[in-house]
Amino acid sequence: MNMPLRKSDPQVAKIIKNEEIRQQETINLIASENIAGDSVLEAAGSLLTNKYAEGYPSVRYYGGCEYIDKIEELAISRAKRLFKADYVNVQPHSGTQANMAIYFAVLSPGDRILGMDLAHGGHLTHGATINFSGTLYRSSYYGVEKETGLINFADLEKLAKRIRPKLIICGASSYPRKIDFLEFRRIADSIGAYLLADIAHIAGLIVAGLHPTPVGIAQFVTTTTHKTLRGPRGGIIIAEKNFGKFIDKMVFPGIQGGPLMHIIAAKAVAFGEALKPEFKRYQSQIIKNSKKLSEELKKRDFRPVTGGTDNHLILIDLTNKNISGSRAEKILEKVGIVVNKNLIPFDQKDPTTTSGIRLGTPTVTSRGMKEAEMAQIAAWIEEAINNRRNKKIILKIRKEIKKFCYEFPIYKKR
């Protein structure tokens, strides 16, 4: 058992190696992904995975938690500093579980919730009928305006007053503009609802001060740790301190068993990295790259929903290009540009076809790409889409991209 993976299990080792090559040789524009640093990977791959630690620091159900306690305490204190928060729970295994813990803490089955429509940029856990949040609770949705692609707060307020939900959820997974948390809180207060801000996509921008924070505005804030935050795959909860005890109980023993201590260690490392000045520069470059990519695509007659972006992502409406999101995703993958098909607001196509693609810049920025590279990527996107039936051109672009990718290694030589 104590052998390098390539010796003990060459089959698995080979698949991991192939994935490493895929990541290295492609341009990843998936808005929710990133490249965790070596230190985050080291902590995530550490022997802390061996330890059971049900409970919380100093109140565990297992012996031998001396160092485990220190790791969790460190992760909590760094997260508190990072988000300027009084209460943080670092145990949720994912963003979904972070949201679930909040719902279970403040709602009863059958209560009304109001979240952003999945088809307009919301998230499964914000009340979609195919998710627990839409089956356990009576969910309603707000969306964006057809003309602008922006959240219309007057309509939202009318809807909230009619529905009278117990919880309003704000935050999105394909909304390219800033979210006005104060306005959400004002509306929530006007009907006595709680407000949950799910900042999974924009947490990195928020801690860098490049997007307004909901901490101190929403009673509950959840995020994943692996998107713009560039940590390990996982979730955390931030809340007003008075809800802390209740949320802790809901995470464990309510919906989870033993915390993933190796992941909590990796979260601590990521929070430490995010507290450094370089992280702010990184986040600022993400936005510069996103704006540049959006402008360059616009020049080429691609249409970003809302006309552009304020954050790390761009949602492209492909209707005028006469190609579906799923077909565009496939063509781009052939040349080595990885994106995801995405519904656009008021989409006429179904979710497996879609009229749009979502592009994001966290990963390419982590690799050191800047504005000049964004212009080049936009040119490749146009060339690939326009020449989608020309195998020779597709192959030529693939070769150019492969070469280009080696100028931006994902990791130093391993």
Cβ 131 to ligand DSN shortest distance, Å: 11
Cβ 124 to ligand DSN shortest distance, Å: 7
Cβ 174 to ligand DSN shortest distance, Å: 7
Cβ-contact 167, 192 below 8 angstroms: no
Q: Does residue 32 belong to the site contacting ligand DSN (CB under 6 A)?
A: yes
Cβ-in-10-Å burial (0-12, 13-18, 19+) of 298 comes to middle
Of the pair 143, 272, the CB lying nearest ligand DSN is at 143
Of the pair 173, 283, the CB lying nearest ligand DSN is at 173
Contact pattern for ligand DSN over residues 113 through 132, marking x by CB under 6 A: ----------x---------
Q: Among 131, 173, 228, 354, which residue interacts with ligand DSN (rule: CB under 6 A)? A: 173
Tell me the C-alpha distance between 119 and 305, whole Å. Answer: 13
Size, binding site for ligand DSN by CB under 6 A: 4
- The residue from 178, 186, 233, 402 that is catalytic is 233
Q: Does residue 228 belong to the site contacting ligand DSN (CB under 6 A)?
A: no
Of the pair 193, 223, the CB lying nearest ligand DSN is at 223
- The residue from 26, 51, 194, 198 that is catalytic is 198
Cβ 339 to ligand DSN shortest distance, Å: 11
Cβ 242 to ligand DSN shortest distance, Å: 28
Q: In this structure, what DSSP letter does residue 98 have?
A: H
Cβ 10 to ligand DSN shortest distance, Å: 32
- CA–CA–CA angle 84, 89, 91 (5° rounding): 140
Tell me the C-alpha distance between 222 and 11, whole Å. Answer: 37
Q: What is residue 19's three-state secondary structure?
A: helix
- The residue from 96, 125, 213, 224 that is catalytic is 224
- The residue from 25, 42, 52, 288 that is catalytic is 52
Task: Evaluate the CA torsion angle 323, 327, 331, 333 in order and state its sign.
Answer: positive
54 flagged as catalytic: yes
Strand-pairing partners, residue 60, are 55
Of the pair 169, 261, the CB lying nearest ligand DSN is at 169
Q: How would you list the strands of the sheet with 303-304, edge to edge?
A: 303-304, 313-317, 356-360, 340-342
222 flagged as catalytic: no
Of the pair 107, 202, the CB lying nearest ligand DSN is at 202
Of the pair 97, 355, the CB lying nearest ligand DSN is at 97
224 flagged as catalytic: yes
Contacts of 255 (CB under 8 A, 6+ apart): 97, 100, 101, 104
- CA–CA–CA angle 135, 213, 204 (5° rounding): 85
196 closest CA partner among 160, 161, 170? 170
Of the pair 131, 388, the CB lying nearest ligand DSN is at 131
Cβ-contact 339, 29 below 8 angstroms: yes
Contact pattern for ligand DSN over residues 59 through 98, marking x by CB under 6 A: ------------------------------------x---
198 flagged as catalytic: yes
60 flagged as catalytic: no
List the structure tokens of 412.
């130093």
Cβ 368 to ligand DSN shortest distance, Å: 23
Tell me the C-alpha distance between 287 and 313, whole Å. Answer: 8
- The residue from 25, 42, 54, 183 that is catalytic is 54
Tell me the C-alpha distance between 177 and 384, whole Å. Answer: 27
Contact pattern for ligand DSN over residues 183 through 222, marking x by CB under 6 A: ----------------------------------------
233 flagged as catalytic: yes
Cβ 172 to ligand DSN shortest distance, Å: 9
List the structure tokens of 45.
């791959």
- The residue from 78, 166, 227, 292 that is catalytic is 227
- Three-state SS letters, 129-182: CCCHHHHCCEEEEECECCCCCCECHHHHHHHHHHHCCCEEEECCCCCCCCCCHH
CB atoms closer than 10 angstroms to residue 201? 30
Of the pair 173, 228, the CB lying nearest ligand DSN is at 173
Catalytic residues: 52, 54, 198, 224, 227, 233
Binding residues for ligand DSN, rule: CB under 6 A, are: 32, 95, 123, 173
